[in-house]
Chain A
Amino acid sequence: MTTVQATPSLGPTRLLLRRVLGNATALAALATLLLFAGIALAAPWLAPFDPYQVYPERSLMPPGREHLMGTDLLGRDIFSRVLYGARVSLLIGFVSVGISAAVGVVLGLLAGYYGGLLDNLVMRLIDTLMAFPGILLALTIVALLGPGLVNVMIAVGIGGIANYARLVRASVLSIKEEVYVEAARSVGVRDRRIIFRHVLPNALPPVLVLASMSYGWALLSAAGLSFLGLGATPPLAEWGAMLSDGRSLMWDAPWTAIFPGIAILCVVLAANLLGDALRDILDPRLRL
């Protein structure tokens, strides 16, 4: 892993923004994400129907003028549910990435900065977590906590910690060797001040890249858990859960599964592309 030098003159945020806006793919990806964020916020005004109101007599109507994406088994409007689903799915992504990043950064900082026994312990923990491939760790945690939206966010969040911790630890290790850190230490500046003033700000840019790249993963994992019946519980409008409902209806009413899937694909693809672009902009050498 490599470090990223603090950018001296131009504020890093503005620089980043300028670069993103100059990259067509990144711009499109960002626009897609903003669009979905807008949908999530405006769902109550955009949705033609109450996503939770059932109309048994309108069960499984194909897409048409009134129901753009058709209706599900209970006659609920799929278009409205997809719109509302943006709220749930985007939120799950943010919260779980937030959990991964927060815990991972703290662990990585402590391990990297203090080293020694603490580092050893943290690394063994990380190694163990890494032994649970993909969604296995999240599955295990859901097995423990039981199904449910909050539990899925926690589970997916914990599932992502290891990557952040490793990344931050590596950054910290090399930042620690920098002259200005050595200097601050030698004049007796307290650890806490060094960490917050020097180490953390420099370790953050790669975290941002990782966060945007793992956002898609988090959303996919959460949707996958819901699909398996371990995530969002009915009647919540969540894309993965909607797909799960649609699964047994594929044969006679494929629209019940097709549209929620397209929504997931759009958001995940946009998040991944934005992540790639951010990595290229911030540090092409970063291999994530």
Chain B
Amino acid sequence: MGRFIIMRLLSSVPVVLGVVTITFALMYLLPGDPAASMLARSGASSEQIAALRVELGLDQPLYLQYFHYLVQVVQGNLGVSLASNKPVTEMLLEVLPKTLALVFAALLIAIPLGTVMGVTAAVRQNTLVDRVLVGISALGVSVPSFWLALLLILLFSVTLRWFPASGQGELRHLVLPTLVLAFGAIGTVARTARTSMIDVLKQDYIRTARASGKSEREVLYRHALPNALVPVVTMIGLQFGWLISGSFIVETVFSRQGLGSMLINAILDKDLPLVQGAVLATAILYVTLNLLVDLTYGAIDPRIRYE
């Protein structure tokens, strides 16, 4: 067990290092002088630009700059946003809980609902119910979330006035964004659950159970379901990826504060330190969530081992 944890932890080190390298590279791959582009908005003189170059260490060799960047990142110092003059780390910490709230809310809806849909479809394979449920889950992965969001706003905010179209702070503000985000995830969860349940139902031990005269209900829920759930549970880590990425667009459409809307604004503003920070934070968040998910399984299910 301990070995598993250590190996799993070690395996994320190169990934995190890779992510940091990519965000570092962002600054140097951009055309033009980073110092000049940082000061462009204040109309600075060439002396000020030169001074900033020294301040940022841009006059030093690349490997030294890279090393400094690493040290800064490890210390949690991600620089200062060009647009707001606030420390990037502070800004990220401010919005992180808001994105997490949205992601977890969607996950809490998507996993149970998707599982029920998938299992129901599998049990009634090739019936009308199955087709409808499969159709819904196909829609879930295909519908553009930004469009679905607009439709829900039109229906629930504009026409029915049940839920507000934007804002945050209260639970009712979370309803529509969560629905949109969950809808895509429900599709994936339902498909996985369905495939997995169908597989399990073909297994010998299910046949044995049936042959032994147990009720269909008991066979399905006592014997088949727990086994069918394993792939669903193992895909939670992957779901985080979908949900985090989906939250970017959802946050923007519903004018919610969060990592995604902050990143997109930063990209539009060419606020480089904030872009770097938000990209880094998102990737590390994703890696960490996956790590936690894996470690939890490791603890729960002794069959899962590193590699």
A254 interface residue, CB < 8 Å from B?
A: yes
Given the interface pairs A135-B245, A136-B245, the reply to whether A127 lies near B142 with Cβ below 8 Å is no
> How many pairs, one residue from A and one from B, have CB atoms within 8 Å of each other in the complex?
133
Measured in the bound complex, the distance between the Cα atoms of B267 and A61 in whole Å is 34
Q: Nearest chain-B residue to A229 (Cβ)? A: B268
Residues of B within 8 A of A247 (CB): 146, 150, 253
Measured in the bound complex, the distance between the Cα atoms of B269 and A230 in whole Å is 11
Contact among A139, A254, A269 with B139 in the assembled complex (CB-CB below 8 Å): A269
Residues of B within 8 A of A272 (CB): 138, 141-142
Chain B nearest CB from A231 CB (Å) reads: 12
Residues of A within 8 A of B139 (CB): 265, 269
Which of the four size classes fits the interface of chain A? Answer: 35 or more
**CB under 8 Å from chain B, chain A span 228-275:** 228-230, 240, 243, 246-247, 250-251, 254, 257-258, 260-261, 264-265, 268-269, 272-273
Contact among B15, B147, B158 with A127 in the assembled complex (CB-CB below 8 Å): B15
Interface size counted on chain B using CB atoms at 8 A: 47
Residues of B within 8 A of A144 (CB): 26, 29-30
Does the CB pair B264–A230 fall under 8 Å? Answer: yes
B89 interface residue, CB < 8 Å from A?
A: no
Chain B nearest CB from A50 CB (Å) reads: 26
Does the CB pair A140–B248 fall under 8 Å? Answer: no
Instruction: Add 19 more A-B contacts to A131-B18, A131-B284, A132-B19 (CB < 8 A).
Output: A128-B14, A130-B15, A131-B287, A132-B286, A133-B245, A133-B282, A134-B241, A136-B282, A140-B22, A140-B26, A140-B275, A230-B268, A250-B154, A258-B151, A260-B147, A261-B144, A261-B147, A268-B142, A268-B144
Interface residues, chain A, CB within 8 Å of chain B?
A: 124-125, 127-128, 130-136, 139-140, 142-144, 216, 220, 223-224, 227-230, 240, 243, 246-247, 250-251, 254, 257-258, 260-261, 264-265, 268-269, 272-273, 276, 287
